[in-house]
Amino acid sequence: MATVVKKALGIAPTKEKNGRGFIPSPLGILLGVDKKSGYTHNKRVAGKYKGNKKILVLCTEERYFKMENGSLFSTGNNVQETAVPLMHLTNAGFDFDVVTPTGSSAVLEQWSIPRKDHAVLAFMREKKSKFDQPLSLQDMVGRGDLNDDSPYVALFLPGGHGSMVGLPTNEHVGKLIRWIHQSDRYMVTVCHGPAALLAASVNTSDPHPYRGYKMAIFPDSVDRQSPSLGYLPGKLPWYQGEKLSEQGLSFINKKVEGAVHVDRKLYSGDSPRACDQLGKLVADTLLKELAQ
């Protein structure tokens, strides 16, 4: 009976057609997925960068996240959170490469597409092959590509609960994160993307490289409320804020408010609402640094 009532109220998670997992409820989609992203084209910086430095985008290759009750959440990387910062960077003249742990296709939350945002839709169509045929992080590490000659000036960790699956425990992700910090490159995260930072503590007793840093993040308190709205089909088995706090990071926001924060070379945003400002800020910063 409870399920019938939840369906009537629009708060029952929606079963996938394949019957395996769940996507958010109609109410969860209404409250959590924008029809338009809020992206605003920045003519001032369009095409300014002419160099060969790139952005590396670490995506998940995992579709399902098992909740505490055993239900599978059909997730991946959030489309809006992935696209909007990259749209600002490519507008400024930067190219990007997508990488996944083994080179399998990046998994994106198709239900998270802002379906009335023609700019985002066009961007994702144009860049589809980058996500379908990404680089392999395992191969990059094996070849020794993480070195001073690397073209990558920044690592971008897009959001989506899929960032909490596989990436936080992957030793190669840990090596990538430690290399970004040690080589004084930029780290850019949004929403649940910071979960991947946990990998920096895999197979090492050294302090977390971002220990003592502050950042904007999707708050655990909101994730705890999400099952009641049917956005998640159950409670999360763990929470990124709690785990990152244990590693010495702290957070500037307790609500989802479009917060953006800069701490040294760690640039972060709390949610889709932050992506337009975050993308512009990172693009401006990179243009200024690389012009010197």
Dump pLDDT digits (tens) for 151-174.
999 999 999 999 999 999 999 999
Domain at 2-291, CATH from 3.20.20.70, 3.90.1150.10, 3.90.226.10, 3.40.50.880: 3.40.50.880
What's the 3-state SS for 229-259? HCCCCCCCCCCHHHHHHHCCCEECCCCCCCC
Give the pLDDT band of residue 1 (cuts 50, 70, 90). very low
How many whole angstroms separate alpha carbon 77 and alpha carbon 159? 6
Mean predicted lDDT score pLDDT of the chain: 96
**Residue 4: pLDDT over 90:** no
Beta-sheet pairing, 77-78 with 108-109: parallel
* Structural domain boundaries in the chain: 2-291
Q: Is 275 a residue of the active site?
A: no
How many whole angstroms separate alpha carbon 30 and alpha carbon 69? 24
Q: Which of 23, 89, 106, 191 is catalytic?
A: 191
